[in-house]
Structure 1
Amino acid sequence: MARKPVTQDREIPSLILQGEASITRYAVKSPHGGGLAIEVRAGKSKRFVYRYRIAGTQATVVLGNYPALSLARARLEHAELAALVKKGIDPRKHVASEKAKNETALTMDELLGRWLDAQRVAEVVKPKTLQCHQERWNRHLKKTLGNIRLIDLTRAHLAQALEITRRATKDETRKGLGTLNQMLDYAVVHCLIEANPARLLRPKDFGASAGSPRERWLTVPELRRLWKGIDEDLGSGGSLAAGGRGVSRHATISLPAANAIKLLILTGCRRGEVANMRFSHIRDDMWTIPDTKNGRPHSVFLSRQAKALIDEQALYVNGDFVFESDRPKSDVIEPILVDSITRALRRFISRSLSDMEPFTVHDLRRSAATNWAERLDAEERVIELCLNHLPLNKLVRTYHRSRHDDKKKMLWQRWGELVELEVANDPQKNDSNGNVIEFIRKVK
């Protein structure tokens, strides 16, 4: 007696082996034609199969085990394979190809590694930029996206990762989207995916649009509050002068971070440049920064006040880095982390300067530049050179480099003197008559 085809999922658990056979096959009714069946096997799980004839030969392809593969899903897969047979394509080759594709599919973490390796070989992007991509991935995106296979990636996955990142940081959400777009564009070019699912996502979708350029800068009195506050914080018992190792149990800020912040004020340099400062890059009163944001070496004149900070650091470190990390990841001496300067300043502001208008580490660079103009009446082109900003015009750029070294040196020197008189000290205490000293010498 012929067995009735299986029509509902609830019928499958009651299917049994017939007689002494090791396999009993039951036909499954499908709207997509015949050939779909479920096999009951001795000592094994039931499984769906598709039996078909192609090129005059009978063949069978396994769809999957029940109940991991449901009846509804088996019918959908049956439809796909039956359509292939109608086109003269053997489903076994298709299934083998899909299996190979799945086994070799890159995860998002593997894609990032391949993309970064390609960028390093091309040598178009600076190593520091590639490091930022890696750190951003590790810190904000890897946990959510790292193990997702590229072929399974959807826009929803990306949106979820960016939403999570936005809860912590707006700026890194915008930059994270940039990282994702670049690595996924690489995947498209190398035929790993058909389209980049990140291209339709925009920073504003996550409230992470770039804000207006910051205009915050600290006046000399504000810089004095910061400088004096740092000195008072360090004076609580852990400074070198007090016989400590530069870190007080009661201080908010460590000596290396404090001196780095002061050097930022004195030089107007970027935090990364100061954090990676080396003694081997200093010759007398000239500091040469080999790796800068614009890719060109930058020479900075070190005022007497800046040199004093560096000399103090020399008592505290063991290697070539002026600002040495006290928490290296290995036995190798490493510089202080760039972000540690930012965190140190943020903690200090929160504890000691909470009544001041908020400011960031980069605002110290803007503060130096603005005070060079406001207090020292320096010309714009000299300030731009001290900041290592390159003019767009190449002829002007060459002229700047060749004609203004003395003016740059004078500007840093005079700024160091002003900082000593009015930032590190109270100017009203420097004048025996009680008058505020007006400190201006035009630098042109």
Structure 2
Amino acid sequence: MKNKLTKYEVDNAQPKNKEYNLSDGDGLFLRVRPSGAKSWVYFFRLGDDRRLHRITLGSLDDLSMKDAREELKSIRKLVSKGIDPRTARAAAKAENSQAITMQTLFDAWIIYVKATDQMSELWAKRHEDRWALHLKKALGNLLVKDVNRYHLSAVLEKMTLSGIKEETRKALTTLNLMLDYGLKHRHLTENPARLLKPKDFNVTANIPRDRALSLDELSKLWIALDKATTSYNSTSIITVSAIKLLILTGARRGEVAKMSWKELDLQNGIWSLPKERTKNSRAHIIYLSDLAISIIRNLQPITGQSPYVFDTSRNAKESHIREDTLTRYIARLRQTPKSNRQTPSHEDFSLVNMEPFTVHDLRRSAATAWAEHLKIPPHIVEKMLNHQPLNKLVITYQRATYSEQQKKAWLAWDIMVRDKMASYATNTSKD
């Protein structure tokens, strides 16, 4: 059997007037050209075909002797199965030239769903934010054809461990939708995200919730929020203010988080949400109470130079508070208090004994209180929540906005919140 070439022989092979080959055994040769260029070539026969074929593995500059021998093993396996390695290489090259990254697929999917009106601007933006915050770094540069369930699991498990379980479930939805699009357009042969379930990451499916905080619970939360800002911290004040606005307005988490100064008419107590910012793509007016206006005005010295009311970026960039920041803050309020703390903290008045609740439950809590305690008619509550009627006939003919009724309802809610907070604080101080 031919002895293998040594590194010395390879490095010191000198050019001649004609190209020549040095055998490394098993059909592998080092080809030396008159120019001095060196490359690895493999000579082989296929099946009963006695013709000698040749394939160039690569230049010595790009492929070391060790790597050339490893490459040879793969090529010889193909030949043993009657497969021409040149054809296999050409197919792989063609496939790679057409392969796209996960980032490219995500961008194409977002453009598609917007162009075909399959998704509102608001929902598309939520997928874009989720991708940018949680998925892009780990998955963006991977080729779609190479992505498997383990790549996806690693990202989702990391999200779960960071405490954002609801975002984990939604991230899985984002991956499912974009990879379904990739499957439809033949960028992959199966959707690996469909092999994963929310329970794999200790999160539940999106089951409708019915948790509504009582007035006493809302009072306890409000006082906990006040105690969280005892020591001045701009980020804490901004976060607490956003949560209080959720209670006072019944607006959605994303609507409050991205509230901009240009949407506000504080003189007249009006918050105008454009259709691009609402879930159902319908513009919405929220009438701000005196307490809500006061909370917003208190932020002007902190975020007045930013486009966003709840800006936590601390620099000139346009950056609103993240929705999951509100979720995390509520979760932290529900942690067990730490002892021997020298400075005030949100943990000094924890909600550890309260039944679990989420940020979105605050919207439901407000709506429940409007109906049960303020006796606001259901159709007014629906208007205040900017819910779209299920009956298409109602959508077509019910054009009334009930502006005055809504305004009175929000003002009545303001009074109830103030009275309840004061009453609760007095009663708890006596205990």
TM-score (norm 2): 0.76
Deviation at 1:392, TM superposition (A): 0.5
Contact 1:280 1:320 survives alignment (8 Å): no
Contact 1:48 1:62 survives alignment (8 Å): yes
Tell me the distance in 2 between the aligned counterparts of 1:162 and 1:315.
39
1:75 equivalent in alignment to 2:60: no
Q: 1:250-280 CA deviation, whole Å, 9 max, x = no partner?
A: xxx7332222222211111112212222343
Deviation at 1:393, TM superposition (A): 0.3
> 2:341 maps to what in 1?
none
RCO higher in structure (CA 8 A, sep ≥6): 2
Tell me the distance in 2 between the aligned counterparts of 1:201 and 1:355.
32
Deviation at 1:292, TM superposition (A): 0.7
What is the aligned counterpart of 2:123 among 129, 139, 144?
129
Deviation at 1:25, TM superposition (A): 4.3
Tell me the distance in 2 between the aligned counterparts of 1:109 and 1:336.
25
Tell me the distance in 1 between the aligned counterparts of 2:198 and 2:227.
42
Q: Say which SS state the counterpart of residue 44 (structure 2) adopts.
A: strand
> 2:182 maps to what in 1?
187
> 1:225 maps to what in 2?
220
Contact 1:171 1:210 survives alignment (8 Å): no
Contact 1:141 1:165 survives alignment (8 Å): no
Aligned length: 392
Tell me the distance in 2 between the aligned counterparts of 1:109 and 1:124.
20
Tell me the distance in 2 between the aligned counterparts of 1:107 and 1:334.
28
Q: 1:15-45 CA deviation, whole Å, 9 max, x = no partner?
A: 98999983134774xxxxxxxx221446957
Q: Counterpart of 1:278 in structure 2: which amino acid?
A: S
1:331–1:403 Cα change, 3 Å: closer
TM-score (norm 1): 0.74
> 1:99 maps to what in 2?
93
Tell me the distance in 1 between the aligned counterparts of 2:86 and 2:228.
74
1:311 equivalent in alignment to 2:308: no
Q: Say which SS state the counterpart of residue 178 (structure 1) adopts.
A: helix
Q: 1:275-294 CA deviation, whole Å, 9 max, x = no partner?
A: 22234323413322112111
Q: How is 1:163-174 mapped onto 2 (pairs within 5 angstroms)?
A: 163-168=157-162, 169-174=164-169
Q: 1:186-228 CA deviation, whole Å, 9 max, x = no partner?
A: 2233332333333343334444341543333222222222223
> 2:342 maps to what in 1?
none
Contact 1:50 1:63 survives alignment (8 Å): no
Tell me the distance in 1 between the aligned counterparts of 2:110 and 2:425.
56
Contact 2:247 2:366 survives alignment (8 Å): yes
What is the aligned counterpart of 2:323 among 319, 335, 338?
338
1:297 equivalent in alignment to 2:283: yes
Q: Say which SS state the counterpart of residue 391 (structure 1) adopts.
A: coil
Q: How is 1:42-441 mapped onto 2 (pairs within 5 angstroms)?
A: 47-50=41-44, 59-63=53-57, 67-68=66-67, 69=70, 72-79=73-80, 82-83=82-83, 92=86, 95-122=89-116, 124-168=118-162, 169-210=164-205, 212-236=207-231, 238=232, 247=233, 254-283=236-265, 284-290=268-274, 291-319=277-305, 321=307, 323-327=309-313, 331-350=316-335, 351=347, 352-357=349-354, 358-398=356-396, 401-402=399-400, 404-423=402-421, 425-426=422-423
Deviation at 1:417, TM superposition (A): 1.1
Deviation at 1:58, TM superposition (A): 6.0
Largest Rg, 1 or 2: 1
Contact 2:4 2:24 survives alignment (8 Å): no
Tell me the distance in 2 between the aligned counterparts of 1:121 and 1:211.
27
Tell me the distance in 1 between the aligned counterparts of 2:378 and 2:399.
14
Tell me the distance in 2 between the aligned counterparts of 1:386 and 1:271.
15
Deviation at 1:386, TM superposition (A): 1.3
Q: Counterpart of 2:324 in structure 1: which amino acid?
A: D
Deviation at 1:92, TM superposition (A): 4.0
1:184–1:335 Cα change, 3 Å: closer
> 1:39 maps to what in 2?
29
Contact 1:217 1:367 survives alignment (8 Å): yes
Tell me the distance in 1 between the aligned counterparts of 2:321 and 2:157.
31
1:234–1:178 Cα change, 3 Å: closer
Tell me the distance in 1 between the aligned counterparts of 2:165 and 2:303.
36
Tell me the distance in 2 between the aligned counterparts of 1:170 and 1:228.
26
Tell me the distance in 2 between the aligned counterparts of 1:268 and 1:219.
14
Q: Counterpart of 1:74 in structure 2: which amino acid?
A: I
Tell me the distance in 2 between the aligned counterparts of 1:278 and 1:108.
32
Q: What percent of counterpart residues are identical?
A: 35
1:224–1:120 Cα change, 3 Å: same
Tell me the distance in 1 between the aligned counterparts of 2:302 and 2:175.
41
Q: Say which SS state the counterpart of residue 426 (structure 1) adopts.
A: helix
Tell me the distance in 1 between the aligned counterparts of 2:21 and 2:291.
89
Q: Counterpart of 1:178 in structure 2: which amino acid?
A: T
Q: Say which SS state the counterpart of residue 303 (structure 2) adopts.
A: coil
Contact 1:256 1:324 survives alignment (8 Å): yes
Tell me the distance in 2 between the aligned counterparts of 1:164 and 1:343.
15
Tell me the distance in 1 between the aligned counterparts of 2:324 and 2:41.
56
Q: 1:83-124 CA deviation, whole Å, 9 max, x = no partner?
A: 45xxxxxx6455334224325532223332333344454454
Q: 1:338-386 CA deviation, whole Å, 9 max, x = no partner?
A: 3333334433443122333133322221221121122112232322221
Tell me the distance in 2 between the aligned counterparts of 1:323 and 1:119.
30
Q: Counterpart of 1:228 in structure 2: which amino acid?
A: I
Tell me the distance in 2 between the aligned counterparts of 1:142 and 1:276.
22
Unaligned runs of 5+ in 2: 336-346
Contact 1:158 1:198 survives alignment (8 Å): yes
Q: Say which SS state the counterpart of residue 213 (structure 2) adopts.
A: coil
